[in-house]
Every structure is written in structure tokens, then in C-alpha cells.
Amino acid sequence: MIQLSLPALAQAERAFVTRLRLDRDQLEAGDSLLFESDATSATFAGPHGLLSIEGVLPSDLDGDVVLMQPDIQRIERLLRAGSPHNTLLITERCDQLCVMCSQPPKKTHVDRFDLLEQACLLAEPGIVIGISGGEPTLYKEQLFGMIERVLEARDDLEFHILSNAQHFGQGDVERLRDPSFRRVTWGVPLYASDAVLHDEIVGKQGAFARLEESLAWLMLSGARVELRTVLVSPNLDALPALARYVTRRLRFIDAWSIMQLENIGFARNRWDNLYVDHSRSFAPVAEALTTATLHGVPARLFNFPRCTVPEPFRHLAAASISDWKRKYVEACGTCAERDACTGFFEWHPEEAVEGVHPL
């Protein structure tokens, strides 16, 4: 597992963002250059003074954009150079309480918008920056402002923003119609076409109705939307109906991602009640995928190891698990499709990998 947080010491007393460089010729404004290193630490010098990071080779940090927090003496690797999986956490507050939430919400919010905006401006060229929470649109004004300023300054960047879509309204339409927002994709969870079932899964009465309203505003604004459906026992048999709803009512979406469960957060203690062994219960998933495909809705499978998916649907299984939390098991050692396979979450239970076989 790749460590995203590392112990560090800095001369500065306040939090700051910098990009780490090993080569003086690559230095730009805001960068810190490797000053000295040994087997256990690397020290960089930059606009905020000296920054000493422990427990990692300097070559592993080259080009990373990091947030140094002197009060806790740690750096956070916000944007790792060369990684396609960079996600910025906007807030840990949320107004839903999904049964399988991988990052259970907190009541407090730490405003880091200024620092995150600086990080985005230092991003390597052409990347997609993920935004997540909590619920980022609880701070919609700050979020929109940050997105607009970054996209204006950097026409090579895109954003993918996870949002429960409980907060879009008519007043957002004109703003979201700006051409810069064509470089933003909203990842929106929808768990069932039955309002009661969806509301139960997200732990909020009325959430489905509010989501439908938000989706209408997003459609009117020409927004790019990826629907996300986490597979859990309560919605397994409801997937075919959801597929019919999506193809009938939400044809404007860019993609529909059906996602396997992550054994972390709330799902850890509820695993036995929530986890679906799709290798034994694939029929509803297959029906949903077929309906979507027949109607031209691009559907795909996230977090589904390729060998556990029936061959006719295997091409839809994307390598979706982020590199820093992905693992492979012993059987994967000789697999010809490992590079295209998502593998498993680092914390996936060993007993839930039965039947895995090299392709």
C-alpha cells in the first residue's frame, strides 16, 4: 500500500503547499528542491523554508504536490506525480448516512479550500483531479469558485467531483453552463429506482426526490454526469428496474458505474449483510448491463476482478481501484490480464477471494 501521509518537519509554522523536485532545471514557482537526503529522510528547500520528510525515498516524491501541516508534523501527498488516482478531500461533513459509507462523516469541517486550490494550480499537465468528501456541495460557493479559478488558469485540467446531488438548484444552471464546466464530471450515487429503497440505503428520507430534482438541473445545465450504484444485498434484485429507469429517464448521463462494495467504514461491520458475491449472483447485474447497453447507456463495472465476471461482460470491468489501496492475491501472479484488472482493495477479506483464477 502506498502511504499518502508521512511524518515531516518544517521551518514554517503555518500549513503550506509545495511541489517537490529533484532536478533544479524543472523548478517553477512554488516548488521545493531536494537539498539533502539519507536512508531515512529527504530534506527539501523552497519558498516556505526547509521541509524534511521521513520514511520515503526522494525519487518516490519527485513531482508530488504535498500539503505540510506543521501542527501535526505530517505531509499529505495531495497529488502524486504519475498517478491517475489523485483525489482531494473537501470536507468530512455529509447530509446523508449511506449504509455502506466508506468514509463515515464527521460533524466538524476544516476549511482547506485555499490550500487545495494552490495544489490544483501546481498539478502536472493534463490530469483529472478527483474531488470527494463528505459532501463537497455543502460548500458549493467555495467549491464552484475554486473550480472556476483553477480551470481558468489551467485549461489542461479536468475535475471529477463526487456529490450526492442534494444541493443543485435552478440558480446553478447559468453558472454550470459556462464552457469551463464541460471539464467537470459529477459522480452521483443512485442506488435504486424505488424511492423508499434509495432513501433507506442513503439514510435520508426524501433524498430520492431531491436527487431527481438536482439531476434535472444538471441536465438543463448540460453537465457531465456519471451515475454510481454500489452493489449491496438490498439493491441486487432492484438493479434491472434501475437500469430501465436510467435508460428511460436519465439518457443524458455520460456513464453508469456499478460498483462492488469496499470493506471499510460502515461496510466493515455490516459486511455479511451487505456484500454480494457477484460470482454466484451475477444474473441481476447482467440484466442491468444488457438493458443499459441495448439503450446506448455506457455501463461499466468498478471494483469487479475480471476473472469473477462472466466472459461476455468482462470487457466492462474497469481497473478502478486506486493504485495506493489496490492489492493482488497469489493467484494473480500468473494472470495474463492482471494489468487490465482492478484487483482488490487492500482491506478486502481473504475469505472473499475464493474462486479467483488466472486468465
In the complex, the residues that contact ligand SF4 under the rule CB under 6 A are: 305-307, 328, 331-332, 335, 337-338, 341, 343, 356-359
| 116 class by beta-carbon count within 10 Å (0-12 exposed, 13-18 middle, 19+ buried) | buried
Min separation Cβ 319 and ligand SF4, Å: 9
Q: Which of 130, 192, 194, 193 is nearest to 163 (CA)?
A: 130
Phi, psi of 33 (to 5 degrees): -105, 140
The smaller minimum CB distance to ligand SF4, of residues 217 and 304, is found at 304
Alpha-carbon span 18 to 177, nearest angstrom: 33
Q: In terms of CB distance, is 91 or 308 closer to ligand SF4?
A: 308
Backbone torsions φ then ψ of 182, nearest 5 degrees = -70, -15
Q: Omega before 355 cis (within 30°)?
A: no
* Shortest separation between residue 93's beta carbon and ligand SF4, angstroms: 35
Report in angstroms how near the CB of residue 355 gets to ligand SF4 at its nearest: 9
Burial label, 354 (beta-carbon count in 10 A; 0-12, 13-18, 19+): exposed
Using an 8 Å Cβ cutoff, are 58 and 42 in contact?
yes
Shortest separation between residue 341's beta carbon and ligand SF4, angstroms: 3
- CB of 80: closest distance to ligand SF4 in angstroms? 23
Based on DSSP, count helices (H) and strands (E) in the chain, helices before strands.
11, 17
Assess contact for 48 and 18: CB atoms under 8 A.
yes
Pick between residue 135 and residue 262 the one whose CB is nearest to ligand SF4: 262
Closer of 220 and 340 to ligand SF4 (Cβ): 340
Strand partners, 326: 345
Pair 277, 305: CB distance under 8 Å: no
Q: Is 152 helix (H, G, I), strand (E, B) or coil?
A: helix
* C-alpha torsion 288→292→295→298, nearest 10: -170
Cβ proximity to ligand SF4, 112 vs 306, nearer residue: 306
Residue 347 CA, chain-centre distance (Å), reads: 17
Q: Which is nearer to ligand SF4, 141 or 339 (CB)?
A: 339
Q: How far is the CB of 176 from ligand SF4 (least distance, A)?
A: 38
Minimum distance of ligand SF4 from residue 106's CB (angstroms): 34
Residue 98 CB contacts under 8 Å (≥ 6 apart), including other chains: 189, 201, 202, 203, 230, 266
Nearer to ligand SF4, 315 or 357 (CB): 357
Task: Provide, rounded to whole angstroms, the least separation between the CB of residue 150 and ligand SF4.
Answer: 35
* Beta carbon nearer to ligand SF4, 34 or 307: 307
